[in-house]
Amino acid sequence: MLKSNQPQPTKSNNPITIVDVANFLGVSISTVSRALNNKSDINQKTKDAIIQAAIDLDYKPNFLAQSLNKGSTHTIGVIVPDVGHPFFASVLAGIQQVANNTGYRIIVCHSNESYRIEVLNTETLMACRVDGILISHSKETTEFDHIKKITEKGIPVVQYDRVNSELNTSNIIHQDFKGAFNLVEHLISQGCRRIGVMSGPKEMQICKTRIEGYKAALQKHGIEINNDYIVHSNISYGEGEQILNYFIGLENPPDGIFAIVNRNAIEMMKAAKEKGIKIPDELAFAGFGDDILAQYFEPPLTVYNHFPTRIGEIAIRMLIENINNKSNFNPYSKIVEGELIIRKSSLKKGSCL
Amino acid sequence: MLKSNQPQPTKSNNPITIVDVANFLGVSISTVSRALNNKSDINQKTKDAIIQAAIDLDYKPNFLAQSLNKGSTHTIGVIVPDVGHPFFASVLAGIQQVANNTGYRIIVCHSNESYRIEVLNTETLMACRVDGILISHSKETTEFDHIKKITEKGIPVVQYDRVNSELNTSNIIHQDFKGAFNLVEHLISQGCRRIGVMSGPKEMQICKTRIEGYKAALQKHGIEINNDYIVHSNISYGEGEQILNYFIGLENPPDGIFAIVNRNAIEMMKAAKEKGIKIPDELAFAGFGDDILAQYFEPPLTVYNHFPTRIGEIAIRMLIENINNKSNFNPYSKIVEGELIIRKSSLKKGSCL
DNA sequence: GTGAAAGCGCTAACAC
DNA sequence: GTGTTAGCGCTTTCAC
């Protein structure tokens, strides 16, 4: 490869550096740096000339070099278990929006519901020297040493949605208990007395809490808790049909079903429809979380909407607060209010919306 | 803050550096570097000791510093117009998977269908010194200077899905022409003669191509092209109903509708159902792209599935190929085969699946 | 107000 | 086989 010895500001393949700008004007690199970073103690004329030269030469600061000696990247790492899921897509949208407005960069990592990848993600993000991490754990995650390692290094972490409350981080969750309670109480108000619940992995905090909400609603209304009606699954898509079959095969099949993940409710409804079961009169449905499928499916699904975008917005704000205030920051938790949306999947005859 | 002057390998807040590892063992930093990078010319024992020490001290290489002097970040930037869209979510999944297997890091930027943000995204990625960029343009993008700037600097770019073929980059697209042709021909085979098409922005390449496919199918079967049946929209969600109203308000309303984005087809079907229009007998529907909503909606939607995950996988492979072979690489285009999936939304009475 | 120089953490020539 | 040293591009003291 041959190197031109003529100054060739515009055509060189190597990116323009601060040195090029300095040479171009015959000033020192520190002067250029000062001008570009809006420091005081610089002659306005020099400053203007430098800024103009930077534009003319199409100089772009090297982010790597800047971060390396500032010790801060102004970047936030986000770990998402499943970007394909509408809930997480909306959370991400909220995060991105606030990041844009506050000048933070975002690196999104996708754990793909795998504990192993989640751990790798945390290592990647640490290697990238992100200023903070937002994380929702994979379904498989029951060990949290990888998070402890991060917080011990003084890197702020905020857990959202799927949190482990024993970690010393800020958290943001929705009203899992209340949402489940409201959904189940609504089913009861529609005349359901044998309410099945399709839950996720036993160890997942949100599943535990939602089942507690379910139980509390039954108890409030004097309905006995029957463990046959409580089914744990992997909340993968596709499991709904099998679990519906289990339910309708029971001696006393449920007359209402509460799904801890809305998409499973849809799957079960689809299977039920194909078997000729009348929804909601023979079997009513309700699920946690709203999305377009819940709205468009026939019948549309009664849900507890937990405002995922808002969760994302609040999560990143909490994180930035922590980043700006590392020394004396006490982690805290926030709970976002949701709302019950009643649709046809649960409205039995004689009821009106 | 007080600083301990005892060596405290595990508890220090400042990340362990290569210097710490070197001091710990009393060797030089270059020896450590060699050991950790698996270079030859190093004593096995020293190497083992260094690797062990690195583990014990929980040393993690500083990615910024590594990249800074290697001049390569081993990171790929991905620009996505809309992560919430199932198509892009699946493309992303494909990209991520290959990235994981090849050791590339991914930075995902979300242009949110905004030209302005898309340009900012490219600048961010250049500032991060990514090794290459995968991009699908926003709906608004009709100017491509920001991409030219990148390729002129010698950074490989691959455009996927929404491409501009005048740029000197590799591209990957689906069979837009053939897909549209097949869908429309299928509608014709079901007896449709007045086929409406809901398209997106006029300037978008994929819209142009799909409309060409639509026209070709009509021509092949001797059906006249009627511009009243061709409607351009912004393909935002929510526009479907309005456009359905336009169609059914025509003097000679269509008996079949082809939507260039499947979700718009669903919206139109929903609106049509609410008006008591019989699908598919009075009005048949077909749309480009498969997803869960198309499968679960009642009636399920006939689609051309373009295998988004595969598109993501191929796109990143093409990019990596280009990165590894910068000097003598000639951009090329690839077209991914799709498949027609016939469902009830278009199967008129008397036909059978 | 500006320049020289040190250093962020690392790699890779170059010595020995 | 290992150590010394010069940078990667930038910011930030410290001189002048």
pLDDT tens column, A112-171 = 899 998 998 898 888 888 999 999 999 999 999 999 999 988 899 999 999 999 999 999
Q: Smallest Cα–C1' distance to nucleotide C9: which residue has it? A: B65
Dig out the tokens for B18 from the structure: 């290569």
B89 beta carbon to strand D: under 7 Å: no
The shortest C-alpha distance from A199 to chain B (Å) reads 21
pLDDT of A13 reads 66
pLDDT of B110 reads 85
Cβ atoms within 10 Å of A51's Cβ, excluding its own: 16
d(CA B26, CA B20): 10
Query: Scanning every residue of chain B, which has its alpha carbon at the shortest distance from the alpha carbon of A15?
Result: B153
Asked if B105's CB is within 8 angstroms of A124's CB, the reply is: yes
What is the architecture, at CATH level 2, of domain B75-174+308-337?
A: 3-Layer(aba) Sandwich (3.40)
Q: What angle do CA B236, B237, B239 make, to 5 degrees?
A: 80
Is it the case that residue A3 has pLDDT exceeding 80? no
The H-assigned helical ranges of chain B are: 18-25, 29-36, 44-56, 63-70, 86-102, 115-127, 145-152, 176-189, 205-220, 240-249, 262-274, 292-296, 308-323
Q: Which of A312, A278, A314, A325 is nearest to A298 (CA)?
A: A278
Query: Scanning every residue of chain A, which has its alpha carbon at the shortest distance from the alpha carbon of B72?
Result: A64
Asked if A64's CB is within 8 angstroms of B128's CB, the reply is: yes
Cβ burial A30-42 (10 Å sphere, 16+ → b, else e): ebbbbbbeeeeee
Asked if A126's CB is within 8 angstroms of B112's CB, the reply is: no
Cβ atoms within 10 Å of A195's Cβ, excluding its own: 24
Cβ atoms within 10 Å of A299's Cβ, excluding its own: 17
pLDDT of B105 reads 85
Asked if B93's CB is within 8 angstroms of A83's CB, the reply is: yes
Any idea which nucleotide's C1' is nearest the CA of A44?
Answer: C1
Q: Between B128, B237, B298, which is nearest A63 by CB?
A: B128
Asked if B107's CB is within 8 angstroms of A124's CB, the reply is: no
Dig out the tokens for A193 from the structure: 């007395």
A29 beta carbon to strand C: under 7 Å: yes
B33 beta carbon to strand C: under 7 Å: yes
Amino acid identity for residue A103 in this structure: G
* Stretches in chain B below the pLDDT threshold 50: 1-12
Distance, angstroms, CA B156 to C1' C15? 38
Amino acid identity for residue B38 in this structure: N
Dig out the tokens for B45 from the structure: 């024992």
d(CA B215, CA B26): 76
Q: Half-sphere exposure (CA, 13 Å, Cβ side) for A104?
A: 27
B28 beta carbon to strand D: under 7 Å: yes
CB pairs A-B closer than 8 Å: 101
Contacts of B277 (CB under 8 A, 6+ apart): B248, B283
pLDDT of A352 reads 53
* Secondary structure string (H, E, C) spanning A105-148: EEEEEECCCCHHHHHHHHHHHHHCCCCEEEECCCCCCCCCHHHH
Q: Is B50 exposed, middle or buried (0-12, 13-18, 19+ CB in 10 A)?
A: buried
Cβ atoms within 10 Å of A106's Cβ, excluding its own: 22
CATH 3.40.50.300 fits A176-305, yes or no: no
Protein-proximal positions, strand D, CB < 7 A: 1-5, 7-13
pLDDT of B235 reads 79
Residue with tokens 């501009």: B164
3-state SS class at B339: strand
State the average pLDDT for chain A. 91
Which of A's residues 44-63 have CB atoms within 7 A of nucleic strand D?
A: 59, 61-62
Backbone φ and ψ of A258, nearest 5° = -115, 120
Is it the case that residue A309 has pLDDT exceeding 50? yes
Which residues in chain A are closer than 8 Å to B67, comparing Cβ atoms? 64
Q: Smallest Cα–C1' distance to nucleotide C8: which residue has it? A: A69
Which residues in chain B are closer than 8 Å to A89, comparing Cβ atoms? 83-84, 89
pLDDT of B132 reads 96
Is it the case that residue A229 has pLDDT exceeding 90? yes
Asked if A64's CB is within 8 angstroms of B68's CB, the reply is: yes
A69 beta carbon to strand C: under 7 Å: yes
Cβ atoms within 10 Å of B310's Cβ, excluding its own: 17
Is it the case that residue A1 has pLDDT exceeding 70? no
- CATH 1.10.260.40 positions along chain A are 18-61
Cβ atoms within 10 Å of B224's Cβ, excluding its own: 9
The shortest C-alpha distance from A146 to chain B (Å) reads 12
Tell me the DSSP string of B117-159.
HHHHHHHHHHHTT-SEEEE---TT----HHHHHHHHTT--EEE
Asked if residues A182 and A340 have their Cβ atoms less than 8 Å apart, the reply is yes
What is the separation of C-alpha B64 from the centre of its chain, rounded to a whole number of angstroms? Answer: 27
Asked if residues B295 and A237 have their Cβ atoms less than 8 Å apart, the reply is no
Q: Between A13, A126, A127, which is nearest B153 by CB?
A: A13
Q: Which of A328, A334, A182 is nearest to A258 (CA)?
A: A182
Query: Scanning every residue of chain B, which has its alpha carbon at the shortest distance from the alpha carbon of A58?
Result: B149
pLDDT of B353 reads 53
3-state SS class at A168: coil
Dig out the tokens for A168 from the structure: 């010393």
Any idea which nucleotide's C1' is nearest the CA of B18?
Answer: C9
The shortest C-alpha distance from A267 to chain B (Å) reads 9
Determine the angle formed by the axes of helices B18-25 and B44-56, rounding to 10 degrees: 120
Omega of the bond prior to A300 within 30 degrees of 0, cis? no
3-state SS class at A287: strand
What is the separation of C-alpha B6 from the centre of its chain, rounded to a whole number of angstroms? Answer: 52
pLDDT of B8 reads 40
Higher pLDDT, A8 or A196: A196
Which of B's residues 53-92 have CB atoms within 7 A of nucleic strand C?
A: 59, 61-62, 65-66, 68-70
Backbone φ and ψ of B27, nearest 5° = -115, 180
pTM of the full structure: 0.85
Higher pLDDT, B291 or A83: B291
Any idea which nucleotide's C1' is nearest the CA of B16?
Answer: C9
d(CA B253, CA B281): 14
d(CA B105, CA B108): 10
d(CA B346, CA A159): 46
Asked if A292's CB is within 8 angstroms of B296's CB, the reply is: no
What is the architecture, at CATH level 2, of domain A18-61?
A: Orthogonal Bundle (1.10)
Dig out the tokens for A101 from the structure: 């407005």
Any idea which nucleotide's C1' is nearest the CA of B40?
Answer: D1
- CATH 3.40.50.2300 positions along chain B are 75-174+308-337, 176-305
Higher pLDDT, A319 or A325: A319
Asked if residues A142 and A204 have their Cβ atoms less than 8 Å apart, the reply is no
The shortest C-alpha distance from A62 to chain B (Å) reads 6
What mean pLDDT do residues A45-67 have?
Answer: 93
Which residues in chain A are closer than 8 Å to B270, comparing Cβ atoms? 296
Residue with tokens 């040479």: A23
What mean pLDDT do residues A183-211 have?
Answer: 95
Contacts of A204 (CB under 8 A, 6+ apart): A139, A162
Residue with tokens 């700008």: A21
Q: Smallest Cα–C1' distance to nucleotide C12: which residue has it? A: B30
Pairing of strands B132-135, B75-80: parallel
Poorest-pLDDT segment among A82-86, A318-322, B292-296: A82-86
Q: Between B100, B117, B270, which is nearest A296 by CB?
A: B270
Asked if A110's CB is within 8 angstroms of B107's CB, the reply is: no
